[in-house]
Each structure stands twice: as C-alpha cells, then as structure tokens.
C-alpha cells in the first residue's frame, strides 16, 4: 500500500474524530431531549434510517446496489445523486425522499445525504483513467448490442444472457421490468463490485468497452424487457393498444 492510500483513510478518521468532539458524547443537549425527525441532519443517522435497508450499511450494497462504488461516484456527480435521492426513480423501488416529491426529508437533509455519500468517493481509485459519462451521449443500437453482449458479457452471463457459470440471467423479465435504463448503464460502467460484477474495463480484461459499445449493449438489454410486466402471454391486439410503456 502506498503512503497516499494509507493517509486517505487516516484523514477521514481525523475529520470524523474532530466531528465527534464538537458534538461531545455525554453533553446534555441544550434544548429538548427529543429531536424532531425533520431536524436530524447527521448523515450517519439519515443514511441508516432511510437508505441502509436497501443500499447496505456504509453504502456497501444489499437488496439495491452499492453506493460506495468508486466508479459510480466518479461518474455520478452531486446533481445526479441529489436528483435521484430527492425524486427517486419512477418505475423502480428507489423512493422519492424530498418533501417536494412526496417524501419525508427536507432539502437540508437531502444535502447532508449527498455530502455524506460523496465523502465515500475515492478520486485515486481510477488512477487517472477517465470513465465513460454517466449519461449516454449517443443512442444505442440493440442489434449491434447483441454482438457487443456476445463479446463482453456472454463469458459470464451465457450466450443469450440467460445465465452462465459465473453469473445469473440478465434477461429475466421480472428483473428488467423493475430496473431503469440508466441503472443498466450504470451497472455496465461501474460494475457491482459487491457481487463480483466487473466495471467497463474488465469484462474483457485489457479491453475497456467504448462509449458506443456501452450504449449498444444497454439498448439490447432494454429491448429484452417484457412488453407487459407480470403478463406472461402476449395480450390480444385490441387490448395491447395504447398500453406501450
């Protein structure tokens, strides 16, 4: 481990320790003993009570993906994290937390969450490599994406994506029905380190995916979505009318 890698965590520890002193344990709270929930701004408490159930303790991942993922935090800036936390992601289990979007948290609490999650970033983790942008810059082509999948993904997920020796199906309708296209892109770029899924550099080691390949494979995955989630058989044409998502 180089000096930098050791000093980083130490610096964080020092800041944390300093923090802990200002709100010295054992000190009698000046005002009321019980803090109204809307006045809690401590990141640790907010995160534990609102996010850890899905994203895991300290952002390490659980039912939902890890937030303390250095590639994710390199591509998702403050505004992305703020918007997702405040407004949620429609059509998925990611809730909207801002009061303005029907949630329970104030703007100050959202700011604290953004700042706290941001503090998990590790700018040195990528060693100066610039990752592909969070948002797609070019539309993807599902047909090309099928080839991209064979090149970069089938070694683990199987030739047709239905699961292989090293990873499960990615064309499972009940999975695809509940995940946003952006999140599929995020997984392809940032991986799921907590589950052993590689980032965009390591699907084929030494051969990072290009921006276009990423957009294409995401378009292919998206094209595998069930047209009518939860509906195993095609609907008769008259009922299908106007129900496209």
**Exactly one of 61, 136, 171, 186 binds ligand HEC (CB under 6 A); which one?**
186
Length of the chain counted residue by residue: 245
Give Cα separations from 112 to 44, 69, 70, 86, 106 (angstroms).
9, 19, 19, 12, 10
Structure tokens at 97: 């937390």
Q: Give CA–CA dist 37/108, Å, rounded.
A: 12
Shortest distance (Å) from residue 193 CB to ligand HEC: 10
Q: Is 53 in the site for ligand HEC (CB under 6 A)?
A: yes
Q: How far apart are CA 230 and CA 239, in angstroms?
A: 15
φ and ψ at residue 206, rounded to 5 degrees: 85, 0
Judged by CB under 6 A, the stretch of 14-22, 136-144, 151-159, 227-235 that binds ligand HEC is 151-159
Sole binder of ligand HEC in the list 60, 118, 150, 183 (CB under 6 A)? 183
Considering only residues 71 to 110 of the shown chain, the ones binding ligand HEC according to CB under 6 A are 72, 81, 84-85, 89, 92-95, 97
CA distance 58 to 43: 11
For position 203 contacting ligand HEC by CB under 6 A, the verdict is yes
Smallest distance, ligand HEC to C-beta of residue 126, A:
17
Contact between 215 and ligand HEC per CB under 6 A: no
- Tokens 């429609």 sit on residue: 90
Select from 132, 164, 151, 153 the least CA-distant residue to 221. 153
Burial of 174 (0-12, 13-18, 19+ CB in 10 A): exposed
> Distance from first CA to last CA of the chain, Å, rounded?
50
Span from 22-30, 37-45, 123-131, 149-157 in contact with ligand HEC (CB under 6 A): 149-157
CB of 229 to ligand HEC, least distance (A): 13
Nearer to ligand HEC, 74 or 170 (CB): 170
Binding site for ligand HEC (CB under 6 A): 50-51, 53-55, 64-65, 67, 72, 81, 84-85, 89, 92-95, 97, 113, 152-153, 155-157, 166-168, 170, 175, 179-180, 182-184, 186-188, 192, 195-198, 203, 217, 221
């Amino acid at each position: 481990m180089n000096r930098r890698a050791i000093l980083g965590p130490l610096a964080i520890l020092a800041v944390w320790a300093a923090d802990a002193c200002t709100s010295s344990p054992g000190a009698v709270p000046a005002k009321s003993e019980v803090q109204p929930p809307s006045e809690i701004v401590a990141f640790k408490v907010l995160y534990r009570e609102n996010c850890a159930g899905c994203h895991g303790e300290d952002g390490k991942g659980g039912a939902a993906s890890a937030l303390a993922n250095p590639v994710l935090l390199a591509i998702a800036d403050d505004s992305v994290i703020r918007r997702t936390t405040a407004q949620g992601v429609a059509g998925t289990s990611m809730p909207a937390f801002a009061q303005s979007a029907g949630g329970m948290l104030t703007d100050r609490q959202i700011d604290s969450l953004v700042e706290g999650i941001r503090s998990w970033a590790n700018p040195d983790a990528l060693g100066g490599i610039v990752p592909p942008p969070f948002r797609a810059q070019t539309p993807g082509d599902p047909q090309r994406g099928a080839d991209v999948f064979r090149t970069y993904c089938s070694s683990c997920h199987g030739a047709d994506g239905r699961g292989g020796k090293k990873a499960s199906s990615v064309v499972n309708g009940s999975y695809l029905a509940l995940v946003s296209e952006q999140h599929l892109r995020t997984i392809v770029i940032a991986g799921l380190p907590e589950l052993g899924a590689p980032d965009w550099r390591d699907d084929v080691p030494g051969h990072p995916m290009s921006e276009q390949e990423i957009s294409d494979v995401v378009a292919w995955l998206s094209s595998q979505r069930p047209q009518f989630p939860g509906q195993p058989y095609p609907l008769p044409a008259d009922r299908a009318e106007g129900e496209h998502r």
